[in-house]
Amino acid sequence: MESYELTKYDHFINPAFIKVVKGELIFLIFSLVCLWILIPAVFDSDRWVVMVFNFNISLYYLYPVFVGFLCLLYVFGRVFKYYSRTVFHFYFKGNFLVLNIFEFKSVQFSEFNFVLDKYSIGHWNGFKKEYFNCVGIEGNKKIYLLPIADDKQDELVKLLLDHGGKQL
């Protein structure tokens, strides 16, 4: 497979969504590094020390570690809830639709259905929640989400219909 085939239809995928996902991955790496640095400080520091089960625990460093774990749980929750079934690239190979999901997994469908205006992924942007519209692609009784660019929905529907998809 050439790299052109993988990126041939990237103009249908919302670039703002890809930017949000990359930002969350950078935040995930940053949080992991910070926790890697701060966790030993919880046990080695002598500031606000409390003895729990014969361990010295610093309450001064326990709070940032606790908040860091909550942030990690939030990002991992988003990864498993949305991004584990979100299409980042797609292309057609013969009679098959090939979906590249979160850059790690690929699935192929010879017959598939798609749904419009039913699925969206929410993202907090400052103090308001924005939604990325998605086209749901159903195959093997699973729904995969394709975040669609703002004015590309009609072209994508025509492309999917031309390659054997059925609209529900």
Residue 5 lies in a domain: no
pLDDT digits (tens, 9 = 90+) for 80-98: 777 778 888 888 888 888 8
**Looking at the structure, do residues 24 and 38 belong to the same domain, yes or no?**
yes
Mean residue pLDDT of the chain comes to 82
pLDDT digits (tens, 9 = 90+) for 53-70: 888 888 888 888 898 899
Largest pairwise CA distance in the chain:
68
What domain range includes position 120?
85-167
Check residue 54 and give its pLDDT.
Answer: 84
End-of-domain residue from the set 58, 81, 104: 81
Residue 11 lies in a domain: no
**Looking at the structure, do residues 77 and 145 belong to the same domain, yes or no?**
no
Check residue 2 and give its pLDDT.
Answer: 52
**Looking at the structure, do residues 58 and 121 belong to the same domain, yes or no?**
no
**Looking at the structure, do residues 145 and 111 belong to the same domain, yes or no?**
yes
pLDDT tops 60 at residue 112: yes
End-of-domain residue from the set 46, 81, 116: 81
End-of-domain residue from the set 81, 116, 132: 81
- Please count the structural domains in the chain: 2
